């Protein structure tokens, strides 16, 4: 018999006051749209969108929520966001999210990803109604394993570049606050793989770079084509964050670290994902390896998500081919004039329906 694959519970989220940091970014925007579909009362706190175009603008993410601007580096601004939101659930996603940028601005990366998390946790301690919090870090928070094996939640933290080590620091800070101040919101950390999906226009990411190259009629330039990464649609880890928050509400023992990665079959070399993306996006699109791969990055990243699968019943509903198909379909439709918010709503509904079908059939996704 297979394992049930639950989706987020609308009854839990309906009317729930949720603070999302980083809602102007790619993943944060998708999360806000899903929470709104579930009926949550959302407050977003972030800087202006990091790209132009952005999913935040294209899908009108600020509509229907309390939309606040502020900097994690400013503890007063973080406190004011909590005062405005009166959150019951907090999902902390605001960050400096790019490895290459962390080499250009290591100080800013540590200020945002480490001290910004401290400011968030300080405000969370003083939030009287907050009962569950998910601090999103990264699969890159782990010390790379020389054997290339998948990382488990109890593996050593590390990171060999400023971005990765800043996320390891955020993990340590969150764990220290959890142990030192056991009252208040049950707080967990979430580590996910390389998320893809419609509306990601960030630089130095494979799929957005392919979208841009195809539209410009240029060749896609790929860094580190032999690097292995865990690829997943953005809705896959987001569903895990929502399930984790639901569990934390009534079960403080869930306050710890959680991996949300794809099936092992979707932990693939960059070159293979580049091939598939080029084939789907524009006829004749080709890629070439960069002459200079840039600053050193981890060669192999894999995540062992056994804990989330066994304890939360979480699984990805879409495999990589479905994730790439949905991503290309989204960008092609927006290019042709479709409404981005409606596209997001449709894909969220499609993803939730896939989870429901798996649940009803009681079939594992393997």
Which pLDDT score is estimated for 1?
Answer: 35
CA torsion through residues 261, 262, 264, 266, sign: negative
Q: Which letter does DSSP use for residue 220 in this model?
A: E
Average pLDDT, the chain: 95
The tens digit of pLDDT for each residue in 229-238 reads: 999 999 999 9
Using pLDDT thresholds of 50, 70 and 90, give the confidence band for residue 250.
very high
Which pLDDT score is estimated for 365?
Answer: 46
The tens digit of pLDDT for each residue in 13-25 reads: 999 999 999 999 9
Q: 57: which residues sit within 8 A by CB, 6+ positions away?
A: 49
Using pLDDT thresholds of 50, 70 and 90, give the confidence band for residue 2.
very low
Which pLDDT score is estimated for 361?
Answer: 67
Topology of domain 10-291+302-348 in CATH is: Rossmann fold (3.40.50)
Q: Which letter does DSSP use for residue 23 in this model?
A: T
The tens digit of pLDDT for each residue in 261-274 reads: 999 999 999 999 99
Cα separation, 315 vs 321, whole angstroms: 16
Residue 335 scores a pLDDT above 50? yes
Any idea of the CA torsion for 26, 31, 32, 35, to the nearest 10 degrees? 170
* 3-class secondary structure, 51: coil
The tens digit of pLDDT for each residue in 282-293 reads: 999 999 999 886
Residue 327 scores a pLDDT above 60? yes
Using pLDDT thresholds of 50, 70 and 90, give the confidence band for residue 345.
very high
Provide DSSP, 54-88.
-HHHHTTTTTTSEEEE--TT-HHHHHHHHHHH--S
Using pLDDT thresholds of 50, 70 and 90, give the confidence band for residue 352.
very high
The tens digit of pLDDT for each residue in 87-133 reads: 999 999 999 999 999 999 999 999 999 999 999 999 999 999 999 99
Q: Please, what is the end-to-end C-alpha distance for the chain in angstroms? A: 13
> 335 is written with which tokens?
């290019």
> 17 is written with which tokens?
């006051």
Percent of the residues in the chain that have a pLDDT greater than 70, as a whole number: 97
Helix (H) or strand (E) holding 37: helix 26-37
Which pLDDT score is estimated for 366?
Answer: 45
Which pLDDT score is estimated for 39?
Answer: 98
The tens digit of pLDDT for each residue in 162-191 reads: 999 999 999 999 999 999 999 999 999 999
What pTM value is reported for the model?
A: 0.96
* 3-class secondary structure, 28: helix
Are the C-beta atoms of residues 61 and 32 closer than 8 Å to each other? yes
The larger pLDDT score, comparing residue 146 to residue 321, is at 321
Tally of helices (H runs) and strands (E runs) in the chain: 14, 12
Q: 72: which residues sit within 8 A by CB, 6+ positions away?
A: 21, 78, 94, 112, 115, 116, 117, 119, 120
Find the mean pLDDT for residues 128-146: 97
Provide DSSP, 299-355.
SB--B--HHHHHHT----SS-HHHHHHHHHHHHHHHHTT--HHHHHHHHHHHHHHHH
What angle (nearest 5°) sits at the alpha carbon of residue 306, between those of residues 261 and 12? 75
Which strands, in side-by-side order, build the sheet including 228-233?
A: 194-196, 228-233, 267-269
Which pLDDT score is estimated for 218?
Answer: 96
> 199 is written with which tokens?
């509306």
């Amino acid at each position: 018999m297979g394992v049930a694959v639950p989706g987020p519970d609308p009854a839990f989220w309906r009317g729930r006051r949720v603070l999302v940091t980083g809602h102007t970014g790619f993943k944060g925007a998708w999360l806000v749209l899903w929470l709104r579909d579930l009926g949550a009362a959302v407050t977003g706190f972030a800087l202006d969108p990091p790209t132009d175009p952005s999913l935040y603008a294209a899908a009108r993410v600020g509509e229907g929520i309390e939309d606040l601007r502020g900097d994690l580096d400013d503890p007063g601004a973080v406190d004011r966001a909590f005062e405005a939101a009166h959150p019951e659930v907090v999902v902390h996603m605001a960050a400096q999210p790019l490895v290459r940028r962390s080499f250009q601005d290591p100080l800013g990366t540590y200020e945002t990803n480490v001290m910004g998390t401290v400011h968030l946790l300080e405000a969370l301690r003083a939030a009287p109604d907050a009962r569950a919090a998910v601090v999103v870090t990264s699969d890159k928070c782990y010390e790379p394993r020389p054997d290339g094996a998948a990382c488990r939640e109890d593996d050593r933290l590390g990171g060999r570049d400023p971005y990765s080590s800043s996320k390891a620091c955020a993990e340590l800070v969150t764990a220290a606050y959890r142990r030192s101040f056991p009252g208040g919101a049950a707080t967990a950390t979430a580590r996910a793989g390389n998320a893809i999906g419609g509306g990601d226009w960030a630089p130095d990411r494979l799929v957005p770079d392919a979208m841009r190259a195809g539209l410009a009629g240029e060749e896609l330039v790929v860094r580190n084509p032999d690097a292995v990464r865990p690829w997943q649609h953005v809705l896959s880890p987001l569903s895990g964050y929502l399930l984790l928050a639901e569990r934390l509400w009534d079960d403080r023992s869930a306050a710890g670290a959680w991996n949300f990665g794809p099936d092992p079959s979707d932990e693939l070399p960059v070159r293979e994902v580049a091939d598939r993306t080029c084939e789907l996006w524009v006829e004749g699109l080709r890629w070439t390896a960069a002459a200079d791969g840039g600053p050193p990055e981890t060669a192999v990243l894999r995540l062992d998500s056994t804990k989330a699968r066994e304890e939360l019943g979480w699984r990805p509903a879409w495999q990589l081919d479905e994730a790439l198909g949905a991503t290309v379909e989204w960008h092609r439709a927006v290019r042709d004039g479709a409404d981005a918010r409606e596209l997001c709503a449709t894909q969220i509904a499609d993803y939730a329906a896939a989870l429901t079908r798996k649940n009803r059939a009681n079939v594992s996704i393997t």
